[in-house]
């Protein structure tokens, strides 16, 4: 197992290097950041001073080496805030991590329960209701649901605070967690139902029933463990997606998460923050995929990592 983990981490190094190269090239092709940093009407000498300060007048290979070296050492600073990029990303990631873990917990609990009940009584009223709810959940945009929940539970009922996020106050995360959790629930519920129904049609489940096991024990003891591998894959993918793609929800709910940090950096052409964010996103996907691969071997003994 240790060899497998080390091999996967080594395989991720060229992937992350390629992502940095592509992102750096796209940033350089996007335009001159000094137009925003100094302003459109700033004289040329002001822009030139900014270029020299941030080494933007040097050849691209030297700029790339400066960016990568600064990211690794933690000394690379933001153009607009002049704060270390790592510090800004970690502050945003701490909020986004709480949001992502809370949302995925809600989605896993509700999605698995919905899928289990639907598979236990297929084509029943509960099954049709769960399927309808899942279809609606997949179709609803996250920012629209966030606004509706904010209007109902934040403005009308006043159950949860709205406005600027305050650190250490989990109630500020209730509405965005519910928003992302309900949307992700729909996908997990539909996949759980499909995988469980497929497992219930297998010969080993028929054998379990023939031995006298009840439908509940056959479902939970035999079908459910064998259906978990594809479900875990989707849960891991969604967790990584929540860590890297909650920009609209964070903006709607005024959360200073990682998505808003990157969004503001893009608007101000803050290249160090954008490049650091891309590298962080790549690292998140690598680690989540590695964790999912390790879980495969735990859930299914037939899958071995040599």
Residue range 178-209, pLDDT digits in tens: 888 888 888 888 888 888 888 888 888 888 88
**20 or 38: which carries more pLDDT confidence?**
20
**Cβ(274)–Cβ(184) under 8 Å?**
no
Q: Is residue 80 part of a domain?
A: no
φ/ψ (deg, to 5) at 222:
-120, -50
Q: Is residue 15 part of a domain?
A: yes
Q: Are residues 130 and 51 in the same domain?
A: no
Predicted pLDDT at 99: 87
Q: Is residue 154 pLDDT above 60, yes or no?
A: yes
Q: Is residue 234 part of a domain?
A: yes
Predicted pLDDT at 105: 92
Q: Is residue 216 part of a domain?
A: yes
Domain C-terminal end among 73, 96, 118? 73
Q: Is residue 1 pLDDT above 70, yes or no?
A: no
Phi-psi region of 257 (alpha: psi -120 to 50; beta: other; left: phi over 0): beta
Q: Are residues 230 and 276 in the same domain?
A: yes
Domain C-terminal end among 17, 46, 73? 73
Task: Determine the Cα–Cα distance for residues 79 and 42; give it in Å rounded to an integer.
Answer: 17
Q: Are residues 220 and 247 in the same domain?
A: yes
Q: Are residues 69 and 90 in the same domain?
A: no
Predicted pLDDT at 109: 92
Predicted pLDDT at 304: 60
Task: Determine the Cα–Cα distance for residues 204 and 181; give it in Å rounded to an integer.
Answer: 34
Question: C-alpha angle with apex 15: 292 to 107, nearest 5 degrees?
Answer: 30
Q: Is residue 306 pLDDT above 60, yes or no?
A: no
Predicted pLDDT at 168: 67
Average pLDDT, the chain: 82
pLDDT band at 305 (very low <50, low <70, confident <90, very high): low
Which domain does 262 fall in, by range?
Answer: 86-299
Q: Is residue 152 pLDDT above 80, yes or no?
A: yes
Closest CA to 189 of 123, 124, 133, 233: 133
Q: Are residues 148 and 245 in the same domain?
A: yes
pLDDT band at 63 (very low <50, low <70, confident <90, very high): confident
Predicted pLDDT at 91: 85
Q: How far is CA 279 from CA 91, 216, 276, in A?
A: 16, 46, 5
pLDDT tens-digit readout, 255-291:
888 888 888 888 888 888 888 888 888 888 888 888 8
Q: Are residues 127 and 275 in the same domain?
A: yes
Task: Determine the Cα–Cα distance for residues 261 and 78; give it in Å rounded to an integer.
Answer: 11
Q: Is residue 39 pLDDT above 80, yes or no?
A: no
Q: Are residues 32 and 95 in the same domain?
A: no
Q: Is residue 183 part of a domain?
A: yes
Q: In the block, which residue shows the tokens 């106050």? A: 169
Residue burial 210-248, b: 16+ Cβ < 10 Å; e: rest = eeeeeeeebbeebbbebbbbebbbbbbebbbbbbbbbbb
């Amino acid at each position: 197992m240790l060899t497998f983990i080390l091999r996967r981490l080594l395989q991720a190094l060229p992937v992350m290097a390629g992502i940095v190269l592509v992102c750096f090239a796209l940033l350089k092709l996007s335009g001159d950041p000094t137009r925003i940093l100094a302003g459109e009407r700033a004289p040329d000498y002001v822009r030139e001073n900014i270029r020299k300060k941030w080494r933007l007048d040097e050849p691209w290979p030297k700029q790339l080496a400066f960016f990568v070296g600064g990211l690794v050492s933690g000394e690379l600073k933001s153009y607009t805030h002049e704060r270390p990029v790592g510090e800004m990303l970690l502050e945003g990631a701490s909020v986004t991590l709480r949001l992502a873990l809370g949302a995925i917990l809600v989605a896993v609990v509700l999605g698995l329960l919905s899928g289990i009940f639907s598979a236990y009584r297929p084509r029943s009223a509960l099954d049709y209701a769960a399927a309808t709810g899942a279809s609606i959940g997949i179709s609803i945009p996250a920012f629209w649901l966030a606004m509706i929940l904010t209007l109902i539970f934040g403005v009308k009922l006043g159950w949860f605070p709205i406005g600027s996020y305050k650190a250490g106050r989990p109630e500020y995360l209730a509405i965005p967690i519910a928003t992302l959790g309900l949307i992700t629930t729909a996908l997990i519920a539909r996949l759980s139902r499909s995988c469980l129904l497929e497992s219930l049609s297998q010969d080993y489940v028929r054998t379990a029933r023939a031995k006298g096991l009840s439908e509940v024990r056959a479902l939970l003891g035999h079908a459910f463990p064998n259906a978990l591998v594809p479900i875990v894959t989707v849960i891991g993918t969604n967790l990584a997606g929540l860590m890297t793609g909650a920009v609209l929800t964070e903006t709607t709910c005024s959360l200073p998460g990682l998505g808003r940090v990157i969004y503001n950096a893009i608007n101000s052409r803050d290249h160090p923050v954008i490049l650091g964010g891309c590298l962080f996103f790549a690292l998140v996907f690598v680690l989540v995929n590695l964790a999912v691969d390790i879980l495969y071997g735990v859930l299914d003994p037939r899958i071995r990592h040599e």
